[in-house]
């Protein structure tokens, strides 16, 4: 993974580099959760032990990684993952596989449109697939927290880091 694996600023900075156009971030804010939701719905169909589906260990892995990055937001993300797992386990979500797959595909189409039309940069997943897929939901949660006024210093640090990286890349191209 890019940067220090367990450094929040480094990990969010990796993702921020590919997602700083406001329209692209808005698209991702809608469709990253759509992709996560539809993925979990589809993966919930795969049982690994009695009623335990593949979403349970996946959620635990995401949760642990997020908590190592920053405990307070890791716990918040864990609550969302737990609620989604409970809703799936308790059959509160009633979608057909075709509906789940449709949401998944539509989510990805919009992601690529956001990058091609607004960001004008390849998606992060082309540079690091696993990091991008794991970080995307966490990054979107931070974007929401930033919009709500939380962690202004972290937001400023990420913007500053982005400016430095873009300046360095601009000089390298010249």
Q: Are 162 and 13 in contact (CB under 8 A)?
A: yes
Quote the distance between the C-alpha of residue 1 and its chain's center.
15
Give the pLDDT of the chain (174 residues) as one tens digit per residue: 456 889 999 999 999 999 999 999 999 999 999 999 999 999 999 999 998 999 999 999 999 999 999 999 999 999 999 999 999 999 999 999 999 999 999 999 999 999 999 999 888 888 888 888 899 999 999 999 999 999 999 999 999 999 999 888 877 776
Q: How many CB atoms lie within 10 A of CB 9?
A: 16
CB-count burial class (<10 Å; 0-12, 13-18, 19+) for 171: exposed
The C-alpha atoms of residue 118 and residue 21 are separated, in whole angstroms, by: 7
| Cβ-based neighbours of 131, under 8 Å, separated by 6 or more | 1, 2, 11, 14, 15, 124
Q: What are phi and psi of 46, to 5 degrees?
A: -95, 105
Q: What is the pLDDT of residue 174?
A: 63
Q: What is the pLDDT of residue 167?
A: 87
Q: What is the pLDDT of residue 3?
A: 60
């Amino acid at each position: 993974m890019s940067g220090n694996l367990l450094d929040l600023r480094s990990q969010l900075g990796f993702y921020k580099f590919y997602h700083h156009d406001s329209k692209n971030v808005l698209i991702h804010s809608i469709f990253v959760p759509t992709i996560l939701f539809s993925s979990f719905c589809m993966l919930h169909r795969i049982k690994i032990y009695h009623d335990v589906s593949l979403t349970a260990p996946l959620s635990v892995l995401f949760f642990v990684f997020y908590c190592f990055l920053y405990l307070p937001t890791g716990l918040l993300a864990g609550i969302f993952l737990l609620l989604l797992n409970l809703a799936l386990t308790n059959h509160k979500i009633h979608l057909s596989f075709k509906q789940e797959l449709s949401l998944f595909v539509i989510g990805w189409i919009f992601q690529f449109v956001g990058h091609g039309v607004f960001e004008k940069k390849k998606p992060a997943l082309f540079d690091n697939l696993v990091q991008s897929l794991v970080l995307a939901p966490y990054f979107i949660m931070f974007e929401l927290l930033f919009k709500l006024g939380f962690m202004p210093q972290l937001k400023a640090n990420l913007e500053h880091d982005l400016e430095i990286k873009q300046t360095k890349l601009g000089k390298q191209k010249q």
